[in-house]
């Protein structure tokens, strides 16, 4: 029903993507897609590469006159770095070459990938493993955001930790404030200390990881399923987020903390507000039994410090079998703010399957009709009248 694919090397000519299953008649805001691409390029601690790239979407298929056709959407984001003769000589798909990279970076795909693909030049692994590729995920996710937006489903993120600097307790946040922060942190005081920590890491030739929250508002009840393990919404979200470079842990609601809490404080009691069923807490993070429960979905993601350190970690030269420092390539110091934007995209892409399974139609209009009918039916299910009849 819904699928996407990306291709592209970090320093190759372009990143390409295909998105299949977006209904017809979605009017696209191309400026908003480019703005999302720019948000991913930002964040304190990015590499000099971000001064070179100006990521912009180009449509090749599936869109006419600014509206989706219902056919597969194909897009390109070009790599400006490829335009430099040096990079082109390395990466031209037909004649590219150069001295092999030989010293794998601990924590990177270099070593496992070299053995897996039988590549004696680590560049043949790192080019695809590089997080440059996430630009295309963000591009496709930004298209999905526009469909989800029409359905009233909005995804946001904010950074809550960089290295050992942690923001104060954050339940909800103002998206505009987060956009203005260089580290996407709504706690202004913590944000300053995060920037200092990044400067300090940079001076030391080191890198920093961190944590961010992703929040989905407007998700109707009953998306995802308890029918089979692979249909559970929490599993689908966690899988998508763990599918990002650098992500090491994904928690939903109370997350790992729930292990230490008795049941009486781990769940969200039901109450009534007039006729409406309400929750006064959201410890489950909006998902129960693998299905959305109508509360905001709140996910906490932990990312590791990236493995390219300017003060290189000990490694070996695989060709010469000698001790040697890991390969140093131009790199970022901290990607946590950018990773939060990628995570928004991954969440949007991951939601498409379950959302379209429940409400999907061939056009946006049909999808909206399905959503309205389903919401109405849910609202009517336990009206007092029906309740009396069942008795
Ligand atoms: C990356 C290394 C750096 C980053 C890159 C990811 O690239 P380069 O080696 O060309 O300087 O800038 O990120 C991007 C290009 C991007 O668009 O996010 C890596 O090794 O993963």
Max CA separation in the chain (angstroms): 82
- Which ligand 1 atom is nearest residue 10's CA? 15
Please compute the mean of the pLDDT values over residues 257-284 and round it to a whole number. 97
What letter does residue 199 receive in the DSSP assignment? H
SS3 328: coil
Torsion of CA 143, 57, 3, 353, to 10 degrees: -20
Please compute the mean of the pLDDT values over residues 191-211 and round it to a whole number. 97
| 246 within ligand 1 shell (Cβ under 6 A) | no
Would you say residue 388 lies in a domain?
no
Closest to 11 (Cα-Cα) out of 84, 67, 94:
84
CB under 8 Å to 13, separation ≥6 — which residues? 78, 79, 82, 91, 93
Closest to 293 (Cα-Cα) out of 378, 170, 172:
378
| 9 within ligand 1 shell (Cβ under 6 A) | no
Please compute the mean of the pLDDT values over residues 270-281 and round it to a whole number. 95
For residue 385, the model assigns a pLDDT of: 63
Confidence band (pLDDT; 50, 70, 90) for 383?
confident
- pLDDT above 70 coverage of the chain, percent: 98
Distance of CA 391 to the CA centre of its chain: 48
For residue 118, the model assigns a pLDDT of: 98
Would you say residue 172 lies in a domain?
yes
Would you say residue 42 lies in a domain?
yes
Please compute the mean of the pLDDT values over residues 355-379 and round it to a whole number. 97
Range of the domain at 366: 3-379
For residue 387, the model assigns a pLDDT of: 53
CB under 8 Å to 51, separation ≥6 — which residues? none
Confidence band (pLDDT; 50, 70, 90) for 117?
very high
Q: What is the per-residue pLDDT across 213-224, written as a single tens digit (0 to 9) for each?
A: 999 999 999 999
Would you say residue 351 lies in a domain?
yes
| Side-chain half-sphere CA neighbours of 314 within 13 A | 2
Would you say residue 223 lies in a domain?
yes
Please compute the mean of the pLDDT values over residues 324-350 and round it to a whole number. 95
Q: What is the per-residue pLDDT across 338-347, written as a single tens digit (0 to 9) for each?
A: 999 999 999 9
Cβ neighbours of 90 (radius 10 Å): 17
Confidence band (pLDDT; 50, 70, 90) for 391?
very low
Query: In total, how many domains does the chain have?
Result: 1
Q: What is the per-residue pLDDT across 129-157, written as a single tens digit (0 to 9) for each?
A: 999 999 999 999 999 999 999 999 999 99
Residue of minimum CA distance from atom 3 in ligand 1:
331
Indicate the average pLDDT of the chain: 96
Q: How far is the CA of 208 from the centre of ligand 1 (A)?
A: 15
- Which ligand 1 atom is nearest residue 81's CA? 10
pLDDT higher than 50, residue 355: yes
Q: What is the Cα–Cα distance from 233 to 231, expressed in whole angstroms?
A: 6
| 308 within ligand 1 shell (Cβ under 6 A) | yes
* Cβ–Cβ under 8 Å, residues 325 and 103: yes
Would you say residue 385 lies in a domain?
no
What tokens does 171 get? 């339940």
Between helix 134-150 and helix 336-359 the angle, nearest 10°, is: 50
Which residues on neighbouring strands pair with residue 155, listed in sequence order?
216
Confidence band (pLDDT; 50, 70, 90) for 328?
confident
- Which ligand 1 atom is nearest residue 338's CA? 18
CATH number, domain of 88, equals: 3.60.150.10
Q: What is the Cα–Cα distance from 243 to 263, expressed in whole angstroms?
A: 31
Would you say residue 387 lies in a domain?
no
Of 15, 43, 47, 139, best ligand 1 pocket probe by most atoms within 8 Å of the beta carbon:
47
What letter does residue 290 receive in the DSSP assignment? T
Q: What is the per-residue pLDDT across 53-100, written as a single tens digit (0 to 9) for each?
A: 999 999 999 999 999 999 999 999 999 999 999 999 999 999 999 999
pLDDT higher than 80, residue 389: no
Q: How far is the CA of 63 from the centre of ligand 1 (A)?
A: 30
- Which ligand 1 atom is nearest residue 53's CA? 17
Of 332, 333, 340, 345, best ligand 1 pocket probe by most atoms within 8 Å of the beta carbon:
332
For residue 171, the model assigns a pLDDT of: 87
Would you say residue 137 lies in a domain?
yes
Q: What is the Cα–Cα distance from 16 to 2, expressed in whole angstroms?
A: 17
Residue of minimum CA distance from atom 15 in ligand 1:
132
Q: What is the Cα–Cα distance from 222 to 370, expressed in whole angstroms?
A: 14
Please compute the mean of the pLDDT values over residues 230-244 and round it to a whole number. 98
- Which ligand 1 atom is nearest residue 40's CA? 18
């Amino acid at each position: 029903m819904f699928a996407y694919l990306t291709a592209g090397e970090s320093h190759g000519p372009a990143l390409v993507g295909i998105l299949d299953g977006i209904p017809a008649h979605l009017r696209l805001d191309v400026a908003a897609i480019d703005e999302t691409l720019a948000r991913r390029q930002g964040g304190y601690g990015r590499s000099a590469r971000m001064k070179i790239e100006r990521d912009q979407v180009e449509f090749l298929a599936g869109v006419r006159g600014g509206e989706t056709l219902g056919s597969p959407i194909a897009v390109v984001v070009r790599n400006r770095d490829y335009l430099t003769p040096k990079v082109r000589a390395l990466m031209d798909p037909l004649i590219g070459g150069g001295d092999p990279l030989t010293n794998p970076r601990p924590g990177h795909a270099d070593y496992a990938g070299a053995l897996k693909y039988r590549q004696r030049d680590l560049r043949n692994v790192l080019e695809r493993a590089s997080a440059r590729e996430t630009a295309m995920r963000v591009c496709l996710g930004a298209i999905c955001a526009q469909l989800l937006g029409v359905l009233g489903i909005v995804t946001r993120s904010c950074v809550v930790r960089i290295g050992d600097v942690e923001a104060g307790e954050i339940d909800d946040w103002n998206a505009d404030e987060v956009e203005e922060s260089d580290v996407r942190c709504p706690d202004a005081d913590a944000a300053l200390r995060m920037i200092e920590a990044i400067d300090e890491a940079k001076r030391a030739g080191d890198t920093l990881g961190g944590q961010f929250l992703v929040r989905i508002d407007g998700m109707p009840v009953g998306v995802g399923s308890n029918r089979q393990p692979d249909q559970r919404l929490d599993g689908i979200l966690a899988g998508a987020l763990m599918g990002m470079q650098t992500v090491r842990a994904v928690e939903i609601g109370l997350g790992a903390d729930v292990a230490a809490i008795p049941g009486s404080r781990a769940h969200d009691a039901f109450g009534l507000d007039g006729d409406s069923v309400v929750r006064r807490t959201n410890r489950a993070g909006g998902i129960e039994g693998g299905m959305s429960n109508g509360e905001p979905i709140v996910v906490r993601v932990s990312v590791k410090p990236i493995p390219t350190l300017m003060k290189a970690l000990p490694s070996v030269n695989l060709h010469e079998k000698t001790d040697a420092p890991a390969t140093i390539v131009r790199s970022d110091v901290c990607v946590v703010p950018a990773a939060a934007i990628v995570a928004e995209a991954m969440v949007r892409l991951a939601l498409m399957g379950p959302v379209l399974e429940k409400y999907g139609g061939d056009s946006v209009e049909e999808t909206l009709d399905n959503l309205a009918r389903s919401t109405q039916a849910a609202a009517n299910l336990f009206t007092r009248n029906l309740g009396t009849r069942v008795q």
